[in-house]
Amino acid sequence: MADDLTLMLDGSNVSGWERIRVTRGIERLPSEFEIEMTDLFPGQLESISAIPGQKCQVALGDDVAITGYVDRVIPGVAPERHFIRVIGRGKCQDLVDCSAVWPGGQISGSNALQIAQKLAKSYGITATSDGNDGPSIPQINLMIGESAFEVIERVSRYAGLLAYDLPDGNLRLARAGVEAHTSGFIYGENVEEAEFEWAADLRYSQIDVYLLTMQTMGDAGVNLVPVATATDATIDRFRNLYVVSEQVQAGRNIAQERANWEAARRAGRSQAVRVLTDSWRDGSGVLWTPNTLVPVTIPPLKIPKETFMLISEVTYTLDEEGGTHASLLLMPPAAFTPEPTILQPLSPDVVRGAPNAP
């Protein structure tokens, strides 16, 4: 399958771009692209009718990678050449850039997916999930000036979900993926460059979680005895981290989840692999896809045969100097466990207030 990018604008398709950068990921919203073309003959660039704010689709070969809008159009001149650069992002940019809109500013009796659907609808975006929609949330209040994605991210964390965009421009709520590419990265075959960032500075032998108390008149606002502990046996010297959990309602359960999350996430992120390969696709012709597992075999980096890692981010590139490449950031799935949280950190009696308050 030919590796080429087509920019689709209101029925007109423009290909032949000389510099291409398209980035998608599960910890970035929205997806984005930057492409550039130099005119090969006088008047060629005048035929490109890209306008800032215009709807567009970006296709890599026959596969749509981004559906969104043109953000910027940058024509330029230089000695002996004219060029045009087009920059854009996926539809979910409006969830990130714009405020959360909902009548009354309060959503009741909805799970994470339903809240995302309600907030996304204002901006012409649909939201789907992998079947994990999250528990029903009795009430969530929108803060003035808060973006739609800030609310969605908050309720997604509560539900243990990641929030990212799909090639059709719509929003996806999902846990770390379990599906895998049919092929992966093998040293000596399709790995041009690779580096394994194996870190210890992010990890601790023991993580203790303390609860923030409501006893504001006392000497300390934090309980002096940890209510939850997690350990990391791979750290052979004493490295202790104290974490304050601000939750009061269901505090002890959340505290233990927080301790486990800190240990697992830090372990996962201490094993990041960056791979540069010469194709945008796996052996079956499928684009390298975020939130998909991939087998990695790079013995010189002490990565055993077919170690499965999750694609966190992929950047598809093309230029005259280097040709076609994909740059990927890979991590163990444990690195993408969302931080446990509850939406109302105060106890119910504090939220309700005093019965006889004026």
Residue 218 scores a pLDDT above 90: no
* Single residue among 62, 90, 118 that ends a domain in this structure: 90
Pair 146, 286 in one domain: no
| 66, 80: one domain | yes
| In a domain? residue 180 | no
Least confident of 112-121, 194-203, 225-234, 342-351: 342-351
Q: Is 102 exposed, middle or buried (0-12, 13-18, 19+ CB in 10 A)?
A: middle
SS3 label, residue 57: strand
Query: Is residue 265 in some structural domain?
Result: no
pLDDT(347) > 60: no
Burial of 229 (0-12, 13-18, 19+ CB in 10 A): middle
167 and 223 in one domain? no
Q: Kindly state whether residue 344 falls inside one of the protein's structural domains.
A: no
Q: What is the pTM of this model?
A: 0.84
For residues 235 and 101, state if they share a domain: no
Domain termination residue (choose one: 35, 65, 90): 90
Half-sphere exposure of residue 216: CA atoms within 13 angstroms, side-chain side: 1
Tell me the residue type at 72. Answer: R
What is the pLDDT confidence band of residue 341, given thresholds at 50, 70 and 90? low
What does the pLDDT average to over 171-175?
96
Q: Does pLDDT of 311 surpass 90?
A: yes
Residues 106 and 193 in one domain: no
CA–CA distance, 325 with 25 (Å, rounded to integer): 16
* HSE-CB for 124 with a 13 A CA cutoff: 10
In a domain, 9, yes or no: yes
Residue 10 pLDDT > 80, yes or no?
A: yes
Whether 161 contacts 174, CB under 8 Å: yes
Residues 103 and 73 in one domain: no
* Residues 6 or more apart in contact with residue 86 via CB below 8 angstroms: 7, 33, 34, 35, 36, 48, 50, 70, 72, 73, 74
143 and 234 assigned to the same domain: no
In a domain, 349, yes or no: no
For residue 291, the model assigns a pLDDT of: 97
Do 229 and 246 share a structural domain? Answer: yes
pLDDT of 342:
60
Residue 356 in any domain: the answer is no
Partnered with residue 310 across adjacent β-strands are 293, 331
Mean per-residue pLDDT for 239-253? 71
Q: Express as a percent the part of the chain with pLDDT over 90.
A: 54
Is 341 part of any domain? no
Q: Which of 104-108, 169-173, 339-343 has the highest mean pLDDT?
A: 169-173
pLDDT given for residue 170 in this prediction? 98
Please report the pLDDT score of residue 346 as a whole number.
44
Contact 22, 319 (CB under 8 A): no
The answer on 143 and 106 residing in a single domain is yes
Residue 13's CATH number: 2.30.300.10
The pLDDT value recorded for residue 20 is: 96
Number of domains in the chain: 4
Instruction: Identify which of 203, 263, 266, 259 has the alpha carbon closest to the alpha carbon of residue 227.
Output: 259
If one counts every other C-beta atom within 10 angstroms of the C-beta of residue 52, the result is 13
Quote the domain boundaries for residue 108.
95-175
3-state secondary structure of 187: strand
Residues 290, 165 share a domain:
no
d(CA 255, CA 241): 14
- Tell whether 191 and 286 lie within a shared domain: yes
Residues 276 and 193 in one domain: yes
In a domain, 63, yes or no: yes
Does the structure show a pLDDT above 60 at 37? yes
pLDDT number for residue 216: 46
**What was the pLDDT predicted at 261?**
78
- Least confident range of 56-65, 168-177, 245-254, 317-326: 245-254
Residues linked to residue 127 through DSSP beta bridges, in sequence order: 171
* Burial of residue 179 (number of CB atoms within 10 Å: 0-12, 13-18, 19+): exposed
Highest mean pLDDT among 153-157, 174-178, 208-212: 174-178
pLDDT of 41:
56
Least confident piece of the model among 24-38, 64-78, 130-144, 338-352: 338-352
Where is average pLDDT lowest: 132-146, 193-207, 217-231, 302-316? 217-231
